[in-house]
Amino acid sequence: MNGREVPTMLIVSGMSGSGKSGALHTLEDLGYYCVDNLPAELLPEFVRLLQNGESAPSKIAVVIDARSLSDLADVPTVLSRLGALGANPRLLYLEARDEVILRRYADTRRRHPLSHLGLVLADAISLDRQALKPLRQIADIRIDTSELNVHQMRRRVLAEFGLSGTGLSLLFQSFAYRHGVPPDADFVFDARVLPNPHWDARLRPLSGRDPEVREHLDAEPDVIAYAGQVQAFLDSWLPKLRSETRSYATIAFGCSGGRHRSVYLAERLARHCRESGWAEVAVHHRELD
């Protein structure tokens, strides 16, 4: 380990159509270094490379599924090897009822990863479930997503992995009003009342994450007043949510394009909360990420 801190490692597995991609996106928002569909046999070497890098991530999430059937039997052995490296992986397994997965594939018109074997969809789903059964049996956490929409699934993952002990996991999100308000937001702040950097040709192609835009908005008195009032609101009310045993809260900022003002505010307030001692703070820019 070269004296480095042992990373938190999460293996995400489960049936195709059960929501692994959505779970991975949420984990990425929580600061996990995420990799999709890495062959199981490469996991130990992957972890070694990360540990020996200049800036090894503290949290790693890797998806393993039935796209490579020959790998699955080796997963328990691979997990043992990872434990020997100090990674101590946990296994999250996602599943859903057959009829739900059938409906999801019908809605999206995507091909099942096992369809290359010449199977009809129902048979591909059956083989997928059977092949993954050994992983299901050793999973640390199992989530049935049959009754969960994408927003409920996101919340479930946030509640499961967004906390350090007991506390409140915060997600700061930016969005464009023209694409709708995030349905899972607990607090929504409208930044359209603020000066818009979009009208400055120099700033238009940039985003609220860029220094030029930050400096521009930092110089606007209305922006500073607005951010200060939101900050005071959050400082007053977020601790009350924590005391009521809430496990997560989503704070959303919207503007016209979801690129400048909302991004700036989400980043600024997330930074303030981190500096104030909140342990789990994630940021997601819906129109940029």
Q: What CA–CA distance (Å, rounded) separates 150 from 198? A: 31
Strand partners, 142: 93
In this predicted model, what pLDDT tens digit does every residue of 171-200 receive, in sequence order?
899 999 999 998 878 999 999 999 999 999
Q: Give the pLDDT confidence score for residue 20 in this predicted structure.
A: 93
Residue 215 has pLDDT above 80, yes or no: yes
* Per-residue tokens: 156: 């479930």
The domain spans of the chain are 8-161, 169-285
Percent of the chain with pLDDT over 90: 50
Contact 21, 36 (CB under 8 A): yes
**Phi-psi region for residue 168, left (φ > 0), alpha (ψ -120 to 50) or beta?**
beta
Residue 88 has pLDDT above 70, yes or no: yes
In the numeric block, the tokens 């940029």 are attached to 288
Strand partners, 77: none
Percent of the chain with pLDDT over 70: 91
Closest CA to 64 of 80, 85, 41: 41
Mean pLDDT value of segment 229-235: 97
Its CATH class, for the domain covering 8-161, is alpha beta
Q: What CA–CA distance (Å, rounded) separates 99 from 149? A: 15
Exposed e or buried b per residue across 4-35, where buried means at least 16 C-beta atoms within 10 angstroms of its C-beta = eeebbbbbbbbbbbbbbebbbbbbbbbbbbbb
Q: What pTM value is reported for the model?
A: 0.63
Q: Which amino acid is at 94?
A: L
Residue 1 has pLDDT above 50, yes or no: no
Q: Which amino acid is at 197?
A: P
In this predicted model, what pLDDT tens digit does every residue of 141-156 receive, in sequence order?
999 999 888 877 887 8
pLDDT band at 4 (very low <50, low <70, confident <90, very high): low
In this predicted model, what pLDDT tens digit does every residue of 24-79 receive, in sequence order?
988 988 888 899 888 877 888 887 787 776 667 888 899 987 766 666 777 888 88
Q: Which amino acid is at 137?
A: Q
Q: What is the mean pLDDT of the chain?
A: 87
Distances from the Cα of 178 to the Cαs of 50, 80, 96, 266, 272, in angstroms? 40, 49, 33, 18, 28
* Per-residue tokens: 127: 């083989």
Rounded to 5 degrees, what angle do the CA atoms 38, 41, 47 make?
70
Contact 105, 23 (CB under 8 A): no
